[in-house]
């Protein structure tokens, strides 16, 4: 994958840094000022693309970016400015609130309170093949590297929490079998619908809300201070994915697609029903038992996951002029 075309001054500046251009202290001051002036960072295409480009250096990178820049002071300064604005915006919409419940029950309270639009219901009932392709294009930004953002937490944990996370991630990576890796299964779905399954192929088509959802995972994943939030994020994914994935698979079957197209979603119906308990009780329950101060971080990460995913669903439905009631069965 090569560096994308910028969508504004922030992503242009980030791409210049990644291209190896000289970067002076006053450039960072100006950049930070421009970042602070963004009114809606969670939906700002320029800010989200800039952050996605910087974060991609921790994944597979870009053919035309120097790998030595990954931890350069210049890039670190750019990331810090972007993250500060991104995290502040998240904390404006998602507050930390005590539940007075054991952490697994607190997570259930957070996920049961989710009121986002039902993208999965629309895809199951109404979507045509082109709309399914649009959906896969957006989801490819994450699913072609599925599980990677949460794997950073493994060396930061110990005991039962670490064992539980490894158990979940082993399934995500197909137990070490390439054919069973969830990213491989998603690529198969893309091919079945005639899409390009190359990593990063659809970055130019990604909505800002799509980048925001993946940027959230990465931000929580690469910082040790966010380890509780990262685990809460993963728990929320596992606790809310079984029914949507069943709907996605049924929607594809309604359109006449075969098992090659539905295998990714069918696998998640089965796997996530098990992962739900492991994530909430064995992983999050154990990490909070070991570090009680992380409880609110866990719940905050779960709530952030639901908030940005709901925004991404709403944005995609909006592109189709489609409306599906929240929580539609």
- 129 plus 87 within the same structural domain: no
pLDDT of residue 25: 87
Query: What CATH number corresponds to the domain at position 231?
Result: 1.20.910.10
What's the total number of domains in the chain? 2
b/e per residue 249-285 (b: at least 16 CB within 10 A):
bbbbbeeebeeebbbbbbbbbebbeebbebbbbbbbb
Higher-confidence position of 248 and 270: 248
Is 66 a member of any domain? Answer: yes
Note the pLDDT tens digit of each residue in 17-41.
999 998 888 999 999 999 999 999 9
Note the pLDDT tens digit of each residue in 107-136.
999 999 766 678 999 999 999 999 999 999
Collapse the DSSP code of 289 into the 3-class scheme (helix H, G, I; strand E, B; otherwise coil) and give the result: helix
| Residue 280 clears pLDDT 60, i.e. is over it | yes
Q: Which residues pair with 117 in a beta bridge?
A: 326
Question: Cα separation of 283 and 292, whole Å?
Answer: 13
Non-local (6+) Cβ contacts of 146 within 8 A are 172, 182, 183, 186
- 46 plus 111 within the same structural domain: no
| Residue 328 clears pLDDT 50, i.e. is over it | no
- 269 plus 181 within the same structural domain: yes
17-26, 55-64, 67-76, 93-102: least confident range: 93-102
- 206 plus 71 within the same structural domain: no
- 63 plus 111 within the same structural domain: no
Which of 60, 93, 126 is the C-terminal boundary of a domain? 93
CA 160 from centroid of its chain's CA atoms:
25
What six digits make up the tokens of 244?
């949507």
Is 326 a member of any domain? Answer: no
pLDDT of residue 326: 53
Give the residue-averaged pLDDT of 98-109: 89
Question: Cα separation of 50 and 56, whole Å?
Answer: 10
Note the pLDDT tens digit of each residue in 222-263.
999 999 999 999 999 999 999 999 999 999 999 999 999 999
pLDDT of residue 105: 95
Q: Could you tell me which of 104, 156, 160 has the C-alpha nearest to residue 286?
A: 160
Is 300 a member of any domain? Answer: yes
Give the residue-averaged pLDDT of 307-325: 89
- 268 plus 308 within the same structural domain: yes
**SS (HEC) of 211-247:** HHHHHHHHHHHHCHHHHHHHHHHHHHHHHCCHHHHHH
pLDDT of residue 100: 81
Share above pLDDT 90 across residues of the chain, in percent, rounded to a whole number? 90
- 181 plus 266 within the same structural domain: yes
Sign of CA dihedral 280, 282, 288, 291: negative
Give the residue-averaged pLDDT of 212-230: 98
pTM, two decimal places: 0.96
Question: Cα separation of 154 and 151, whole Å?
Answer: 6
182-191, 209-218, 315-324: least confident range: 315-324
Q: Which residues pair with 326 in a beta bridge?
A: 117
Q: Domain range spanning residue 38?
A: 9-93
Higher-confidence position of 231 and 272: 231
| Residue 171 clears pLDDT 70, i.e. is over it | yes
Is 329 a member of any domain? Answer: no
Which of 42, 61, 93 is the C-terminal boundary of a domain? 93
- 53 plus 167 within the same structural domain: no
Give the residue-averaged pLDDT of 62-86: 96
Question: Cα separation of 107 and 110, whole Å?
Answer: 5
Is 1 a member of any domain? Answer: no
Answer whether 150's CB lies under 8 Å from 165's CB: yes
- 254 plus 295 within the same structural domain: yes
Sign of CA dihedral 299, 302, 306, 308: positive
pLDDT of residue 116: 63
Average pLDDT, rounded, for the chain: 94
Question: Cα separation of 185 and 146, whole Å?
Answer: 10
- 38 plus 144 within the same structural domain: no
Is 4 a member of any domain? Answer: no
Give the residue-averaged pLDDT of 47-71: 97
Is 325 a member of any domain? Answer: no
- 57 plus 110 within the same structural domain: no
Is 146 a member of any domain? Answer: yes
- 132 plus 57 within the same structural domain: no
Answer whether 316's CB lies under 8 Å from 130's CB: no
Which of 93, 111, 129 is the C-terminal boundary of a domain? 93
């Amino acid at each position: 994958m090569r560096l994308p075309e910028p969508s504004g001054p922030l992503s242009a500046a980030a791409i210049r840094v990644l291209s190896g251009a000289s970067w002076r202290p006053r450039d960072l001051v100006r950049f930070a000022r421009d970042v602070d002036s963004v009114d809606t960072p969670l939906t700002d295409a320029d800010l989200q693309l800039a952050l996605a480009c910087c974060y991609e250096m921790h994944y597979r990178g870009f053919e035309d970016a120097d790998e030595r820049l990954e931890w350069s002071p210049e890039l670190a300064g750019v990331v810090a400015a972007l993250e500060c604005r991104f995290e502040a915006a998240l904390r404006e919409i998602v507050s930390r609130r005590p539940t007075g419940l054991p952490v697994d029950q607190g997570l259930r309270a957070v996920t049961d309170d989710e009121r986002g639009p039902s993208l999965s219901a629309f895809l199951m009932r109404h979507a045509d093949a082109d709309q399914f392709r649009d959906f896969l294009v957006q989801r490819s930004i994450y699913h072609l590297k599925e599980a990677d953002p949460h794997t950073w937490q493994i060396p930061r944990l110990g005991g039962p929490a670490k064992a539980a996370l490894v158990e979940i991630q082993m399934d995500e990576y197909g137990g070490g079998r390439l054919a069973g890796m969830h990213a491989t299964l998603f690529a198969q779905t893309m091919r079945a619908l005639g899409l390009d399954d190359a990593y990063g192929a659809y970055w130019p088509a990604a909505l800002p809300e799509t980048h925001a959802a993946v940027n959230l995972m990465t931000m929580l994943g690469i910082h040790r201070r966010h380890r509780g939030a990262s685990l809460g994020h993963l728990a929320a994914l596992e606790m809310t994915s079984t029914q949507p994935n069943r709907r996605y698979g049924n929607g594809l079957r309604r359109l006449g697609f075969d098992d090659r197209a539905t295998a990714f979603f069918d696998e998640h119906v089965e796997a996530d029903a098990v992962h739900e308990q492991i994530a909430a009780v064995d992983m999050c329950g154990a990490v909070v038992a070991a570090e009680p101060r992380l409880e609110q971080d866990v719940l905050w990460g779960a709530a952030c996951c639901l908030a940005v995913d709901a925004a991404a669903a709403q944005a995609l439905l909006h592109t189709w002029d489609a409306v599906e009631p929240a929580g539609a069965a």
